[in-house]
Structure 1
Amino acid sequence: MNKQLLSAILLTFSIAGFSQQSSKAFSAKGKEVKIYTTAENTKLRLSETGTAVFTASKQPLETEPSIFVNPKKQFQTFMGIGGAITDASAEVYAKLPKDQQKELIDAYYSQQKGIGYSLIRTTIHSSDFSSSSYTYVAENDKELKTFNIDHDRKFRIPLIKEALKTADKQTQLYASPWSPPAFMKDSKSMLKGGKLAPDSYQSWANYYVKFIQAYEKEGLPIWGVTVQNEPMATQSWESCIFTAEEERDFLKKYLGPTLEKNGLGAKKIVIWDHNRDLMVYRANVIYADPEASKYAWGMGFHWYETWNGGKPMFDNVKLVNESFPDKKLMFTEGCIEAFDAAKYQLWANAERYGNNMINDFNNGTVAWTDWNILLDEKGGPNHVKNFCFAPIHGDLTTGKLIFTPSYYYIGHFSKYIRPEAKRIATSASRSQLQSTSFLNKDGKMVTVVMNQSDGELKYNLIVDDAETVLTIPAHAMQTLVY
């Protein structure tokens, strides 16, 4: 190759590289920011509350609360936000009037009319949020010859199909098991813990394959599965215990190879699917084994580690992210426990969502999934009376939907942050303010700010070398789009 040709090629690559860098550079200077607000003791619910314009930034004073956004520092790629379509959600949905059914679908899955969910979790046969326990096979059918999903065709599958019709094309559906069938367990019961019997490991791995194939035959693509919901919890409902070592071995010897052998190797497998408290140990054990780790896309986690009176353990999420940066983190379940109809509009419930979502995203989480999208006016149905809150309830005595503040707080993220966005370095100068930012593929920056204090706060939004001054009401959430 002559020198002139080589120089031309190098120049072309240099220009292309410069163009690529230039196209990625984000500047807020001169831009307008749109402000959307939800606030306690007001009628503001994801309401557009004004605009502001960025000017040149200056050194903020200690007396000036500030949010700092650095577009040059980008982190994980955002996958989506969503909720679980359980049997309970589907049964309540089926009992609602047609106009309320449409309102619910639009409220969750339309980005224009609602909050644009782009993730759906569902269960592999029953969970506590089913009207009764059931499986997809006849008793003692280890060969799974009787496998069928007729149960799900009545309520659950129709609701998932309706959701996907309205949702973004990038919406992903994944599934989690609560327990193997009773005959596969050492306890011979789906309830109250117990373990998968050693002679049922292969049969249970085959069960996932059958489930994926059956759902996909219905036109419902399965993105992936979690290995086991809450594998260290002995619950009064469907549950099954896997130690870290047992989950590792089931993953590497049975589940991973079985999916691969059946042409499902591209399906994502998510480990743990339990609280933040023990997630570091689970990651250390499974990811240390190359044969197990190769099958694990990442780790799922829940927020219920506060059951013992402690606080959310966000640092454990951060540590797993730092220790295993090639693995993904996905929040797979959270809800407000202990249903009480008097607390439908309790603002602290929404702030729990805001606090968890901001911290989880800032610690590397790529996807965030709420629990039931819909429950009835009793917090169910639930066959063991484990009644909980959902962001939206369907009051079957009136046939009307009840929207809680949690719905709007989740919406401040899900409506504006879209799949494939990149998280951007963001921090606050006051503990009363929490914030996270994402840069969407369309070039729009989204900064979410939460004020948990009792007073209105005036604050600087400083984005690199540009700033604007904004005000957030007491106990409020704001989404800033610019």
Structure 2
Amino acid sequence: MHKTTQTPTDRVSKALKLLCCGSLLFMNSLNAQTVTPFMTTGDQSKLLQQQATVSFGTNSGTNPSTVTVTAGTTYQTMDGFGYTLTEGSCEVISGMAATQQNQLLNDLYNPSTGLNASVVRISIGASDLSSSSYSYNETSGDTNMNNFSLNGPDLTYLVPIIKKILLINPNIKILATPWSAPRWMKTNGSWVGGSLQTQYYAAYAKYFVKYFDAMKAQGINIWGITPQNEPENPNNEPSMLMNSTEQKNFINQQLGPQMAAAGYGNIKIIAFDHNCDNTAYPIDVLNNSSYVDGAAFHLYLGNISAMSTVKTQTNKNVYFTEQYTGSGGSFSGDFGWHMQNVVIGSTNNWSKTVLEWNAANNSSLGPRTPGGCSTCLGAITVNNSTSYTKNVAYYIIGQISKYVKPGAVRIGSSSTSGSISSVAFKNPDGSTALVIYNSGGSSNTIKVVSGSSAFNYAVPASSAVTFTWGASNPVAVTGVSVSPTSATLTAGQSQQLTATVSPSNATNTAVNWSSSNTSVATVNSNGLVSAIAAGNATITATTVDGAKTATSAITVTAGSTGFPGYYNIISRNSNKGLDVADNATTSGSRIQQYDITNGGGSNQRWKFVSDGSGNYYIIVKSTGMYLAVENNGTADGLKVQQKTFSSSNEFKWTVTSLGTGYYKIINVNSGKSLDVENVSTANGANIQVWAYTAGLNQQWQLVQVESSAAKSALAVEQTIAESTSSNDMMIFADEVDNTLKIDTNHEGSADVQIFNVTGQPVLKKNVNFAKGNQTEVEISRLPKGVYIVKVTDSKGSYSKKILKQ
């Protein structure tokens, strides 16, 4: 047999041929990918109608109407789409025969066969599309909310319909909004206009908490709230004015703290909820409240680009929450304007939701209050008990909600034609959805480009097409595990959980996190657990694909002392952690922010050592060096470094809970806050010190990665105040009648403050001491747990740790 010798050149040539063949096969696979169009035309000849599929081919030639999709460019994650489910909507839906009612609700909310409307906006009390104006407590002066009740229209109509929707889609997000406070809390005592009196800020915050309690008792969990619908509009019935100063004061002084203290700190507080003509209002509230998640917008005035302005200047979320279609409009005109401005416009300007106004009304455009909108057309008109009509808003939302799933990420898209608007998304399952609207007066054959592939498609005049194409060879999820499977935390501590989806090459590895007891522990969308109060909670990870579940058992205790162990110090703004740049080992090396995976390296792990006077040295594990400010300086913008130990104040930091699971970290020498330079979210950004402004780049999460200890009630007590002990004051909790009792020989006015173990104030009351008499403070609303009581009068301050059982 003749043997042929293969040279190195031959082997390289053969390898290149194989590589080229493989590349051609891969490109052919991309080029052959099937695209499914779904069309709604302005003339209504096609309504969310699936069209013949097309396929990607090689991108060649030019087209003046080219839409380019850039999957590698990502923006916001979508929470969902939907409508406001007014009490009036529920009233007309409740009047339908069971079969037709079930069909209507499935048409709107079923994720598979319906629109997959995934966000439901409801009113707290009446809206202007309720059958009457009402609140949940009309007893004047009842500041303790003893007479709070959902009885009435909500319990009769709204709650039963929401329960039916949750059976169709248990993952619905519920956004709740008041149109007015109870009349007796307002400056004018009327349903229309007026403002919230400052003396009732605490009572109105308690009203919200009572509302959360009552809805939770019905099996309905609120996802988010806005403090006031259209706070600059005094004309609806009901309505209430609330300027930006009033809104941020109400949130910061009462609503935020009371929600957190009651275990509802996980509910999003979304500010503003009004038109795009005013960006100053939401920017003011968002930049001056750590409790606020973002701002909501309508578009009855202004330009949709205002959402980007607010996003850029606050680095917080934005949401589009309302736009109505009028009974006198045309289908083509309303469909086109809303597709361009609301659906495509708002999402291209960072909106995480797209909500149209009323879900359903009767043939008379009701129910409504005497001052309610008389021309607002619902997404659905209920004609009678057995029939209903789908209106233009049904198709506006359907053009995106059926194809863009909750958790989808907006990706890059651009159009070279002024008449073609576009927005694109990558779904959690890896599929892509591209929404197109042609505002031109004639059909336009567009070219859609993705990577090196493209296809052409004729979009009719005044029409929308949503194109979908899937991930190649999807791999189904078969299971999920969570690590660790259990953890013991102290209140105020965080624990990162990790979900591992099987198989590792599954197409859709997304999971949703939930807590069985949010008053004990909450969990965010990334699996980060925050311990709230003593007790037990089960954290569950549920896969989006296949609904596979795994759990971690969390036990929260009242706490021990100090900060033993090592922590990642995570920026709230960027979700990146403190990192010694380049893992350097020399004194004076800079500190940066960087991604942290599974607890990070030793150059990303820090321990806190008390100096014995309420301050801490912060020490990196990799070198044992200390966090300090360059040149022992005090100016804004000085860089933070690792340095060899010195006992001077430049090495000392105060660590103070913000009551939200985050801390501010202040350098003792300069009085300046640990800060990410230029509010950057990039890896490698410098860490500096700057005057504290409550910015998200100055708020830090301490995620324990070694040891099980965390900041304790004792550590918090030491940071609340410098106080003296008193032999003539006894403070204790009486579990029999749920009161705090103070025995003292002091006389006169005193302030009583109660703090939880994270240092957050949960109650403040002014009392008058009478010599020889016992003073009582009602604490029935406080959950069980450890608290620190601080009493301040003319003779000084006194603190006492108590246990409420």
TM-score range, shorter chain: 0.7 to 0.9
Match among 462, 466, 486 for residue 479 of structure 1 = 466
Task: State the 1:263 CA deviation.
Answer: 1.3
Work out whether residues 194 and 240 of structure 2, in 8 Å CA contact, stay in contact via their aligned partners in 1: yes
Work out whether residues 188 and 195 of structure 2, in 8 Å CA contact, stay in contact via their aligned partners in 1: yes
Matched, 1:298 2:294: yes
Work out whether residues 170 and 419 of structure 1, in 8 Å CA contact, stay in contact via their aligned partners in 2: no
Residue number in structure 1 paired with 2:740: none
Task: State the 1:112 CA deviation.
Answer: 2.5
Task: State the 1:315 CA deviation.
Answer: 1.8
Matched, 1:274 2:274: yes
Task: State the 1:404 CA deviation.
Answer: 1.6
Residue number in structure 2 paired with 1:347: 332
Matched, 1:358 2:348: no
Matched, 1:449 2:439: no
Distance in 2 (CA, whole Å) between partners of 1:156 and 1:372 is 14
Which amino acid is 1:395 matched to? Answer: N
Residue number in structure 2 paired with 1:460: 447
Which amino acid is 2:417 matched to? Answer: R
Residue number in structure 1 paired with 2:651: none
Work out whether residues 343 and 396 of structure 2, in 8 Å CA contact, stay in contact via their aligned partners in 1: no
Matched, 1:433 2:420: yes
Work out whether residues 420 and 441 of structure 1, in 8 Å CA contact, stay in contact via their aligned partners in 2: yes
Q: 1:287 to 1:406 in 2, by over 3 A?
A: closer
Distance in 2 (CA, whole Å) between partners of 1:346 and 1:190 is 34
Deviations, residues 432-452 of structure 1 (Å, cap 9, x unaligned): 111100000111000000112
Q: 1:332 to 1:199 in 2, by over 3 A?
A: same
TM-score (normalizing by structure 2): 0.53
Work out whether residues 403 and 433 of structure 2, in 8 Å CA contact, stay in contact via their aligned partners in 1: yes
Match among 321, 334, 337 for residue 332 of structure 1 = 321
Deviations, residues 393-414 of structure 1 (Å, cap 9, x unaligned): 1113x74211123312311100
Task: State the 1:370 CA deviation.
Answer: 1.7
Matched, 1:189 2:186: no
Residue number in structure 2 paired with 1:288: 287
Distance in 2 (CA, whole Å) between partners of 1:41 and 1:265 is 47
Residue number in structure 1 paired with 2:239: 239
Deviations, residues 302-337 of structure 1 (Å, cap 9, x unaligned): 1111xxxxxx50221111122222x11111111124
Task: State the 1:183 CA deviation.
Answer: 0.4
**Number of positions where the alignment pairs a residue of Structure 1 with one of Structure 2:** 436
| Correspondences of 1:25-40 after superposition (within 5 Å) | 29-40=31-42
| Correspondences of 1:35-74 after superposition (within 5 Å) | 35-58=37-60, 60-61=62-63, 64-74=64-74
Residue number in structure 2 paired with 1:98: 98
Residue number in structure 2 paired with 1:179: 180
Match among 414, 420, 424 for residue 407 of structure 2 = 420
Residue number in structure 2 paired with 1:373: 359
Distance in 2 (CA, whole Å) between partners of 1:410 and 1:223 is 20
Residue number in structure 2 paired with 1:315: 305
Identity of aligned pairs, percent? Answer: 27
TM-score (normalizing by structure 1): 0.88
Deviations, residues 323-364 of structure 1 (Å, cap 9, x unaligned): 222x11111111124x34xx5x62212222211210100111
Work out whether residues 353 and 410 of structure 1, in 8 Å CA contact, stay in contact via their aligned partners in 2: no
Q: 1:467 to 1:264 in 2, by over 3 A?
A: same
Work out whether residues 42 and 335 of structure 2, in 8 Å CA contact, stay in contact via their aligned partners in 1: no
Residue number in structure 2 paired with 1:124: 124
Which amino acid is 1:97 matched to? Answer: A
Q: What secondary structure, in the 3-state scheme, does the structure 1 residue paired with 2:454 have?
A: strand
Runs of 4+ in 1 over 6 A off after TM superposition: none
Distance in 1 (CA, whole Å) between partners of 2:323 and 2:305 is 18
Deviations, residues 420-475 of structure 1 (Å, cap 9, x unaligned): 11101111111111110000011100000011222111110011221001111121
Matched, 1:142 2:128: no
Residue number in structure 2 paired with 1:161: 163
Deviates more, 1:195-204 or 1:34-43: 34-43
Work out whether residues 81 and 117 of structure 2, in 8 Å CA contact, stay in contact via their aligned partners in 1: yes
Structure with greater Cα Rg: 2
Identify, as 1 or 2, the structure richer in strand. Answer: 2
Residue number in structure 2 paired with 1:390: 378
Task: State the 1:219 CA deviation.
Answer: 0.2
Task: State the 1:65 CA deviation.
Answer: 1.1
Q: Which runs of 5+ in 1 are unaligned?
A: 1-26, 306-311
Deviations, residues 271-314 of structure 1 (Å, cap 9, x unaligned): 00111111x2023212332xx2x100111111111xxxxxx502
Which amino acid is 1:372 matched to? Answer: N
Work out whether residues 92 and 375 of structure 1, in 8 Å CA contact, stay in contact via their aligned partners in 2: yes
Work out whether residues 81 and 355 of structure 2, in 8 Å CA contact, stay in contact via their aligned partners in 1: yes
Work out whether residues 54 and 466 of structure 1, in 8 Å CA contact, stay in contact via their aligned partners in 2: yes
Q: 1:422 to 1:133 in 2, by over 3 A?
A: same
Task: State the 1:186 CA deviation.
Answer: 0.9
Distance in 2 (CA, whole Å) between partners of 1:94 and 1:100 is 10
Distance in 2 (CA, whole Å) between partners of 1:58 and 1:202 is 65
Which amino acid is 1:283 matched to? Answer: P
Distance in 2 (CA, whole Å) between partners of 1:273 and 1:266 is 19
Q: Which runs of 5+ in 2 are unaligned?
A: 1-28, 470-805
Which amino acid is 1:157 matched to? Answer: V
Work out whether residues 28 and 463 of structure 1, in 8 Å CA contact, stay in contact via their aligned partners in 2: no
Q: What secondary structure, in the 3-state scheme, does the structure 1 residue paired with 2:213 have?
A: helix
Identify, as 1 or 2, the structure richer in helix. Answer: 1
Distance in 2 (CA, whole Å) between partners of 1:373 and 1:389 is 9
Q: What secondary structure, in the 3-state scheme, does the structure 1 residue paired with 2:166 have?
A: helix
Which amino acid is 1:211 matched to? Answer: Y
Work out whether residues 138 and 182 of structure 2, in 8 Å CA contact, stay in contact via their aligned partners in 1: no
Task: State the 1:52 CA deviation.
Answer: 1.0
Which amino acid is 2:233 matched to? Answer: A
